[in-house]
Structure 1
Amino acid sequence: MSAALVTVERDGAVAVVTMNRPEAMNALSTALRAELARVMLELDGDDSVRAVVLTGAGTRAFTAGLDLKELGVEGLGAANAESAAANPVKAIEQCRKPVVGAINGVAITGGFEVALACDVLIGSENARFADTHARVGIMPGWGLSQKLSRMIGISRAKELSFTGNFLDAETACRWGLMNRVVPAAELVATAKALAAEMAGIDPAMIQSYKALIDEGYGASFGEGMAIEHRTSSARNAQVKGGEVEERRKAVMERGRTQAG
């Protein structure tokens, strides 16, 4: 019996999703893309899951991107599917729960785009990123051309996209692509701990906040400010003073614990 292409491990309110084709550097075959999309949509609808960690099996690759051998036979049409049911990047983006990417190895081209769909990236020292779209002769269709420049600056994004060169973990962290770099043996545990902290916030609140940030990110600054004003006016009008005071005390207590 063949191993599952995508595995899911539950740890309380955190689900760890692993792309599981290590022998092929977790390349995104049609079957893996469909399974990853299915899993992400399923977790989005599971109220017992409050946060997700996404990683790749092994230490060589998060995912090496689209399976180019397969695409050479089938063409690119299916890879650009608009439906979240067939497009794992769209399924990750539409997940209302926080998604922490644990980048355990290379994230190349389509794999780079899968990484960029996550909300937060933590990497091991093995993490490396490369955009080889231009060298392969295809255009990105999962958002890399627009997201990367907004994250690390347009000139750095152009350097990566126009050369296809690899970006190492420390530089990726310094450029703001990843939040931190940790030893490989600690990567998943670190990502799970971060996801568990996110899972400790009221689900409705964190889902609304994620939607607010994402919607504003895709708009101009002025439009984003207007979106925030509309959202905060509607939600904050429903908040009761007593509830805020209780939560404020809990926040202060948590702060004292962290300071210690």
Structure 2
Amino acid sequence: MNDFLLYEQDGPIVTLTMNQPDKRNALTGNTAVAEFGAACRRIEEDHSIKVVILTGTGTVFSSGGNIHEMQRQLDPAILPADLRHEYREGIQRLPLALYNLEVPVIAAVNGPAIGAGCDLACMCDIRIAADTARFAESFVKLGIIPGDGGAWLLPRTIGMSRAAELTFTGDTIDAQQALDWGLVSRVVPGSELLAAARELAQRIAANSGPALRMSKRLLREGQHTRLDTLLELSAGMQALAHRTAEHQAAVQAFVQRKPAKG
């Protein structure tokens, strides 16, 4: 039984819910990373899944790092080499699993997303925020840096200038500013958040599963590959898409409802 992450499936839609509200859904000092990894592997292997919703229980999306874990890391008996290993085998496994997940992921940000919690939202493809949500890349406030990949994720989400402002100040922004800056795509009342996420998930899930997975892969690859390389990948994936049952059914349905020109 999972201690941190609830896994619920409704047809092609999986909802992952961080469920340690008493610890503000912190991502360190617990089994969060391992459970995210297991959930992502389960999703990858189940080709009936088309979309994932990620949210949190309680009033906080995720507070990021656990302050008590940071206290433990201050122990001078723990060598820098050991801390480096902890990051590589700990929190850094999270972006590798979630960001690279093949299916689209919607973050339903139900409250504050702080530090690694903000970066967690940026690992998702789409972010919807409750009006009570807050966002902060607050590592400098604690004299540390974003060790979870935030310096790579945040600029790709909101652009370098705004990412630098958030990173260097550690300031917190509200949901409306997050919307203005493109950190989220919409803001809804908290009571409507999950309904809005599910409605969007259903619209995504109405489409071809193989096409969704390949489209997401191309979006990811397009962030760091040359155009000619992406075109080659697109040609190969398009050839595969043309042979899927979903594509063939869609073409037939379109042809049957549109009269042929004489």
TM range (shorter): 0.7 to 0.9
Report deviation, 1:78: 5.6
Distance 1:139 1:251, change over 3 A: farther
1:14–1:53 Cα contact (<8 Å) kept: yes
Amino acid of the structure 2 residue aligned with 1:5: F
The answer (yes or no) to whether the contact 2:40–2:98 under 8 Å persists in 1 is: yes
Which of the numbers 192, 202, 205 marks the counterpart of 1:196?
Answer: 202
Q: Which has the larger radius of gyration?
A: 2
The 3 A distance-change label for structure 1 pair 45 and 71 is: farther
Q: CA deviation at 1:151?
A: 2.3
Pick from 218, 240, 254: which aligns with 1:212?
A: 218
Q: State the 1:248 CA deviation.
A: 4.5
More displaced, 149-158 or 179-188?
149-158
Residue identity in the other structure for 2:125: D
Aligned equivalents of 1:102 and 1:251: distance in 2? 37
- Aligned Cα RMSD in Å? 2.6
Q: Does 1:230 align with 2:229?
A: no
SS of 2:31's partner is helix
SS at match of 1:170: helix
**Any unmatched runs of 5+ in structure 1?**
253-260
- 2 CA distance for matches of 1:78 and 1:242? 49
CA–CA distance in 2 between the matches of 1:121 and 1:93?
13
Report the number of matched residues: 245
Shift of 1:67: 1.0
The superposition leaves residues 176-199 of structure 1 with CA deviations (integer Å, 9 ceiling, x where unpaired) of: 110100111111121122112222
One-letter amino acid of the structure 2 residue matched with residue 190 of structure 1: A
Answer yes or no: is the 8 Å Cα contact 2:65–2:116 preserved in 1: yes
Tell me what 2:129 maps to. Answer: 123
TM-score by length of 2: 0.84
Q: Is the 8 A contact 1:10 1:16 kept in 2?
A: yes
5+ long unaligned stretches in structure 2: 75-82
Matches within 5 A, 1:15-164: 15-28=14-27, 29-59=29-59, 61-74=60-73, 76-77=83-84, 80-81=87-88, 87-164=93-170
Identity of aligned residues (%): 33
How far apart, in 1, do the equivalents of 2:42 and 2:88 lie?
19
Q: 1:247 to 1:230 in 2, by over 3 A?
A: farther
Q: Separation in 2 of the partners of 1:121 and 1:112?
A: 11
Aligned to 1:257: none
Q: How far apart, CA to CA, are the structure 1 residues paired with 2:124 and 2:17? A: 14
